[in-house]
């Protein structure tokens, strides 16, 4: 008898600073995940993290809420769901610069944005682990966007990096910075990518595919 694959479910929670175009990016990845067979819901309030039963039923949460504040109860709901086995994945400031006053959230993410020297510049993304299912077949690619300087957890499994030229901050010349990684938080899978300043970043095939696969890995596909 042929086994019918279970439909996976995802929740994209968008909001915060409008400069990162959270609604447009949320809708882009809603369409991408639906194209991969997911059932996807959008929410633009952090109160959705208070519904523990709803979160437990998910395969994936995509937080997209730059430079915002989160209540202790909302944070506990999100972190508890991930620790219990729900995957979480996201990009740029929507996940990596979301709640600056919440170090436990940052611990879960595995890093925190601190600077983007030169603002939008040309740089290259280097694939650091080409044999991983997230990066398999993706070649190094060029970006014109913010190159994130992050404080990162040394326990991350780094998938891609960028190297700072020193043109805009000479003291960091040659610094190799993780640009995408995966990790665990309890029973949950965590994926993060520093690309994706705005919707236009995802016109770059390498950036779009890296995040697409990272989200699917976080949801437990591989």
Per-residue pLDDT band for 55 (boundaries 50, 70, 90) equals very high
pTM summary value: 0.97
Is the pLDDT assigned to residue 196 strictly greater than 80?
Answer: yes
Choose among 20, 24, 1: nearest CA to 12.
24
Give 133-153 as a DSSP string.
TTTTTPPPEEEEEE--EEEE-
174 Cβ partners below 8 Å, 6+ apart?
163, 164, 166
d(CA 58, CA 142): 34
Average pLDDT estimate for 194-199: 97
Between CA 105 and CA 39 the distance in angstroms is: 26
Q: 9-218 sits in which CATH class? A: alpha beta
Does residue 192 have a pLDDT over 90?
yes
Distances (CA, A) of 130 to 51, 57, 195, 219: 38, 32, 18, 20
Confidence of residue 5 (pLDDT cuts 50, 70, 90): confident
In this prediction, what percent of the chain has a pLDDT beyond 70?
98
The helix (run of H) or strand (run of E) holding residue 61 is strand 60-66
Cβ neighbour number for residue 2 with a 10 Å cutoff: 4
| 3 state SS of 84 | coil
Which residue ranges make up each domain of the chain? 9-218
Quote the mean pLDDT of the chain: 97
- pLDDT tens across 70-128, in order? 999 999 999 999 999 999 999 999 999 999 999 999 999 999 999 999 999 999 999 99
- Predicted confidence band of residue 4 (pLDDT cuts 50, 70, 90): low
Q: Please compute the mean of the pLDDT values over residues 125-134 and round it to a whole number.
A: 98
Residue 1 predicted with pLDDT over 90: no
Comparing C-alpha atoms, which of 160, 185, 215 is closest to residue 34? 215
């Amino acid at each position: 008898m042929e086994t019918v694959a279970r439909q996976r479910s995802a929740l994209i929670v968008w909001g915060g600073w409008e400069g990162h175009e959270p609604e447009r990016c949320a809708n882009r990845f809603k369409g991408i995940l639906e194209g991969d067979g997911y059932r996807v819901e959008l929410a633009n309030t952090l109160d959705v993290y208070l519904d523990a039963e709803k979160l437990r039923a998910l395969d994936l949460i995509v937080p997209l809420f730059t430079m915002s504040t989160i209540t202790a109860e909302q944070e506990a709901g999100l972190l508890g769901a991930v620790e219990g086995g729900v995957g979480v994945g996201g990009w740029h400031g929507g996940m990596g610069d979301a709640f600056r006053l919440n170090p436990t959230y940052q611990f879960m993410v595995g890093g925190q944005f601190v600077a983007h020297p030169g603002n939008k510049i040309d740089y290259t993304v280097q694939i650091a682990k080409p044999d991983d299912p997230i990066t398999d077949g993706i070649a190094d690619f060029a970006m014109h966007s913010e190159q994130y300087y992050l404080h990162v957890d040394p326990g991350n499994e780094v998938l891609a990096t960028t190297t700072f030229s020193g043109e805009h901050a000479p003291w960091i010349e040659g610094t190799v910075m993780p640009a995408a990684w995966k990790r665990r938080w309890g029973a949950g899978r965590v994926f993060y990518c520093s690309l994706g300043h705005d919707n236009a970043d995802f016109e770059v095939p390498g950036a779009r595919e890296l995040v697409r696969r990272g989200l699917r890995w976080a949801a437990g596909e591989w």
